[in-house]
Amino acid sequence: MQKHSFYGGIHPDYNKEKTAGKKIEILPYSIGESLTIPITQHLGAPSREIVKKKDTVKKGQLIASSGGFISSNLHTPFTGEVDNITLAPNPIAGNVPAIKLIIKETDDDFLKIEKSDKFQDIISAAGIVGLGGATFPSHVKLSPPKKVDTLIVNGAECEPFLTCDHRLMIENTEEILLGALLVKEKLSIERLIVGIEDNKLDAYKEFGKYQTKYNFELHLLHTKYPQGGEKQLIFATTGRIVPEGKLPLDVGVIVHNVGTFKAIYEAWTFGKPLFERVVTVTGAVKEPKNILVKIGTPISKLIDFCGGFVGKPKKIIIGGPMMGFAASSLDTPTTKGTSGVIVLREDDMPDMKKSNCIRCGRCVEACPMGLVPAIMEQFSLNEMYEKLIDWHVVNCIECGCCSYVCPSRRPLVGYFKTAKRQVMNILRQRAQK
């Protein structure tokens, strides 16, 4: 069987065995419990809250509206009362504005989103964003200004520890496919590809069962990080290269994560807004699980549902260990982008004591974008941003492969994240001249 891949990348310890076979469990909630729902949970313009203290809201009701085209709606996951407009801890921004909700009912009925003949309007109204972690508003991706001929279902889930997509692919195979077929039909896309890494053969076989019923290509991918990166996945499945500064649609492709396709299917078919998602909770917890969680739930509740900590936690990562962020508080709420909660103890963490670069070249071999991290590091440290533009830092996808393989523990990806912000400012200024 032919397996598809890309240049560079790494093979970290995947640590998925604790949860790969665990069915998705539904997290129970009680009347009187509170949720703290961050108002902005997506990339783009912030949303604006449209409720105030003491308002009563019905499950599925819009509580914050989109702040522009590249923005997203937000809906309440329960019927309840707005306790306050407050702040919630956030792993990137410190504290962010949030709506504190007291749950008054826990039934399944929800307010449906308004019907529309326009597919993109439904996706926008439902507040759907990329559930792979990027949280880019889906209706924007689904409004391409030019012809797209290929749609890719991203079932790579290449980040270590995470198995939420794996479980969705086994337990909700047909819903994912129906969401993808809907997009294919509405956007008149000719080709549908499903890409799954070969460490999830059970999921690959599930999709295989539907190949005679629905018309799509099923690609088995080498298990290699970052196989789920859009550019890597597009190359592995179509051979197309997304040029620097361009988007997948510039090479005629749209990529969505499996969870996003399921959300699209539910929005179109049942009028369901996006107010819950599957989260993998693993690492040093008594019983690691995949859990269906409402947005705004504190991570402490997820950890309790898994039986609590094993040993003393040193770091809790929200997302995957390669691209996720450390939580500053157990009160940190889950959002639409929370794919994982990973608890690490001191012994689970690598020694991060850094030493001088030994010019070994491992970072260059590992970089999936063909960059030269060792040289880019020098320009970053010396704030030589023009040089960084020449060395294509904007192409860095912040995957962390270079930092992972570096024997001198240079925190390369951290330098590039900071430097890229400065470089983007320079490029914006150049474009305005």
Q: Binding to ligand SF4 by residue 323, rule CB under 6 A? A: no
DSSP state of 402: H
The CB-of-230 to ligand SF4 minimum distance in angstroms stands at 13
Which residue number, 245 or 407, has a Cβ lying nearer to ligand SF4? 407
Residue placing its CB nearer to ligand SF4 in the complex, 141 or 231: 231
Cα separation, 365 vs 27, whole angstroms: 43
Taking each helix axis as running N to C, give the angle between helix 201-208 and helix 164-171, from 0 to 180 degrees, rounded to the nearest 10: 30
Kindly state whether residue 158 participates in binding ligand SF4, applying the rule CB under 6 A: no
Q: Does 101 bind ligand SF4 (CB under 6 A)?
A: no
389 binds ligand SF4 (CB under 6 A): no
> Is residue 233 involved in binding ligand SF4 (CB under 6 A)?
no
Report in angstroms how near the CB of residue 410 gets to ligand SF4 at its nearest: 4
At its nearest, how many Å lie between ligand SF4 and the CB of residue 158?
13
CB count within 10 Å of CB 301 equals 21
**Is the separation of the CB atoms in 207 and 173 below 8 Å?**
yes
Which residues in 342-362 are b (16+ Cβ under 10 Å) and which e? bbbeeebeeeeeeeebeeeeb
Number of residues near ligand SF4 (by CB under 6 A): 28
What one-character DSSP code corresponds to residue 106? -
When asked if residue 235 is in the footprint of ligand SF4 (CB under 6 A), the reply is no
Q: Which is nearer to ligand SF4, 110 or 225 (CB)?
A: 225
Identified binder of ligand SF4 from the candidate list 316, 416, 419, 423, rule CB under 6 A: 416
Query: Smallest distance, Å, CB 5 to ligand SF4?
Result: 16
74 touches 41 (CB < 8 A): yes
What is the smallest separation between the CB atom of 387 and ligand SF4, expressed in angstroms?
Answer: 15
Q: Which two tokens stand for residue 23?
A: 């069915």
| Position 164, amino acid | C
Dist. CA 274–CA 286, nearest whole Å: 29
Nearer to ligand SF4, 180 or 399 (CB): 399
Q: Please pick, from the candidates 410, 415, 419, 423, the single residue that binds ligand SF4 as defined by CB under 6 A.
A: 410
DSSP-assigned beta bridge partners for residue 196: 155, 220
The answer to whether 418 contacts ligand SF4 (rule: CB under 6 A) is no
Q: How far is the C-alpha of 402 from the C-alpha of 295, rounded, in Å?
A: 33
HSE of 181 in the Cβ direction (CA atoms, 13 Å)?
14
As measured in angstroms, the least distance from the Cβ of 429 to ligand SF4 is: 23
292 binds ligand SF4 (CB under 6 A): no
Q: Could you tell me if 64 and 50 are in contact, meaning their C-beta atoms sit under 8 angstroms apart?
A: yes
Residue nearer to ligand SF4 on the CB measure, 168 or 406: 406
State how beta strands 340-345 and 276-283 pair.
parallel
Q: Which residues are annotated as a binding site for [4Fe-4S] cluster?
A: 357, 360, 363, 367, 396, 399, 402, 406
Torsion region of 51: left, alpha or beta (phi above 0 gives left; psi -120 to 50 gives alpha): beta
Binding-site member from 285, 371, 388, 419 for ligand SF4 (CB under 6 A): 371
Report the alpha-carbon distance of residue 148 to residue 315 in Å, rounded. 42
Dist. CA 341–CA 299, nearest whole Å: 7
Piece in contact with ligand SF4 (CB under 6 A), picked from 23-31, 48-56, 307-315, 408-416 = 408-416
Cβ distance to ligand SF4 smaller for residue 253 or 396: 396
Taking the C-alpha atoms of residue 376 and residue 394, their distance in angstroms, rounded to an integer, is 11
Helix (H), strand (E) counts: the chain: 13, 18
| Single residue of 369, 388, 419, 423 touching ligand SF4 by CB under 6 A | 369
Binding flag, residue 413, ligand SF4 (CB under 6 A): yes
Q: Is 430 in the site for ligand SF4 (CB under 6 A)?
A: no
Site string for ligand SF4, 324-363 (x = CB under 6 A): ---------------------------------xxxxxxx
Under rule CB under 6 A, residue 412 binds ligand SF4:
yes
Contact yes or no for 52/85 (Cβ under 8 A)? yes
Report whether the peptide linkage leading into residue 313 is cis, meaning its omega lies within 30 degrees of zero.
no
Q: Work out whether 422 is an interface residue with ligand SF4 (CB under 6 A).
A: no
- In the list 397, 415, 420, 423, the residue contacting ligand SF4 (rule: CB under 6 A) is 397
DSSP assignment of 133-161 equals TT--BHHHHTS-SS---EEEEEE---STT
Which of 17, 202, 383, 398 touches ligand SF4 by CB under 6 A? 398
Q: Which stretch binds ligand SF4 (CB under 6 A): 26-34, 251-259, 407-415, 419-427?
A: 407-415
* Coil, helix or strand at residue 189: coil
Positions that interact with ligand SF4 (CB under 6 A): 357-363, 366-367, 369, 371, 373-374, 396-402, 405-408, 410, 412-413, 416
